[in-house]
Structure 1
């Protein structure tokens, strides 16, 4: 159960929120376009598609990265493949956040570099189709086809497999982990979810408690939902709202990371409880002074760097155990 805040976010978060409010001319949250047009959508994506840290400097942490085409969506989708230094421990499919509407391979480049470094795994970051041009279930379908392809690579290389994502990407990673169980993907070893949105129309108290003043507002969540879903019924579909799945038994072990001042905190806690009740090994970590999206601030905030390090270490342990069991 989400408690009422007993303090304020960290001072750097407060400084950022103050700047954001001034940049938005007093409005709360991200400055979304009043009317969604091709030009306003392109402007939003340009604004959110910037790297958190210079890509050339982020890339120093790994052996190399390259762009590849992954066979999905008919003709294929662009992806970035990150290879760590040293022995490769596993393969990770990474799904970026951005409300299913924005962000891209560039915005999450540094995150994937650090994840590859700390996990010792090759990380595949997928440029899945975005809403509103490609609404639900397009992103799920792209992720699933990419995961099937990555499963083949994992078998050929005799490596374990994991899914990971932040926010909307955390939603997609959770859905893919369940599909992997349902279809018997034998290489799936772990799921790493950073502040995922998983409850659809179900609204935990955190959406009201933290729904204003902390960047990701209740208004923004509703806006993102309208862009991604085709109708209200979609918001009850387990492929959009994983909490409505029939059962959670046999899912891959999980680590779920939340932020203390995040409207999505409650649904991540609920999902953790559902997994535990089904006997899934799951670890919940809350950064209690943080706001939603803090992973993207890793260059300036220790919380982001620590969350990536903890997540990478979790994946490394899961891969080690999978190799030992297999």
Structure 2
């Protein structure tokens, strides 16, 4: 294990906070503030909070616009937190870094959380958000021909699912999917679940707690829009970056999804950060590898957007 990640685990252990799976969702949301691990927020040319319509209501989004002349490519970003916790602030620092380093507008989406809003609400909100970006591109200095989706953990799950939905429902056009240690299947039987069930930040019990709050019943877990690894056909999806962490229960299902994408003819860049724990992508303030992963993601986005522009 990376010594920095080990140090963070020891620090978190010393705080003595109860495990998430012993808390109510409300208690978990109050306690789950890891912004100190993200470091100081970078300046971005413009940051705007607004709300957008979704089926049955509206949700907040935060729009980060880099310096320069638009229209810019766009990344629609979905935060992690097991569909139960997390918010725009959780991923504020990585979103700022991605906007600056990839030279793209980042639209961070505050989809509605479970258990108040169970599956498929988060999926519907996430899909509505990418449609909104495509339809209102001109008003936020975005090029509608260059839109990517991305997210971490549950947000990686939502990114993969939105890419599937956009393919299945004829749009909007998505050029790239950035999947950071994504949840891809409602199952706990992988080798990485056995190896990393406890003691590495995200535990098996916490994932069971997240899934139980998110799904209405067991059948939902078999739906490809909850478990994209179960989708029969992954052809015709946008190129993907899949980042996994060595000490993460979700490692194997993320890598299995990358392999299935490859087998379906989708271009995939898959990287395992061997010494890392779940959540490292939004800990660039304390983890060198967190910074490296954000730089890798920004470079992959830049390349993908350039390919679309010149093709």
Structure 1 length-normalised TM: 0.89
Point out where structure 1 has 5 or more consecutive residues left out of the alignment: 1-8
Would the aligned equivalents of 1:161 and 1:187 in 2 still touch at CA under 8 Å?
Answer: yes
Paired with 1:268 and 1:147, the residues of 2 have a C-alpha distance of 22
Query: Counterpart in 2 of 1:193?
Result: 179
Paired with 1:33 and 1:133, the residues of 2 have a C-alpha distance of 17
Of the three residues 7, 10, 13, the one matched with 2:2 is 10
Residue 324 of structure 1 deviates from its aligned partner by: 1.5
RMSD of aligned residue pairs (Cα, Å)? 1.9
Would the aligned equivalents of 2:38 and 2:284 in 1 still touch at CA under 8 Å?
Answer: no
- 1:177–1:13: structure 2 CA closer, same or farther, 3 Å change rule? same
Paired with 1:285 and 1:292, the residues of 2 have a C-alpha distance of 14
* Helix, strand or coil at the partner of 1:239: coil
Point out where structure 2 has 5 or more consecutive residues left out of the alignment: none
Residue 74 of structure 1 deviates from its aligned partner by: 3.0
| 1:23-76 CA distance string (max 9 Å, x none) | 237xxxx6226352xxxx333212224534689x5141x211010111114331
Of the three residues 90, 96, 101, the one matched with 2:73 is 90
Matched, 1:71 2:59: no
- 1:169–1:110: structure 2 CA closer, same or farther, 3 Å change rule? same
Q: Give runs of ≥4 in structure 1 deviating > 6 Å.
A: none
Structure 2 length-normalised TM: 0.93
Residue 17 of structure 1 deviates from its aligned partner by: 1.5
Of the three residues 10, 28, 44, the one matched with 1:44 is 28
Would the aligned equivalents of 1:100 and 1:228 in 2 still touch at CA under 8 Å?
Answer: yes
Instruction: Give aligned pairs, total.
Output: 307
* Helix, strand or coil at the partner of 1:177: helix
Paired with 2:38 and 2:175, the residues of 1 have a C-alpha distance of 32
Question: 1:128-207 counterparts in 2 under 5 A?
Answer: 128-154=111-137, 157-159=142-144, 160-185=146-171, 187-201=173-187, 203-207=189-193
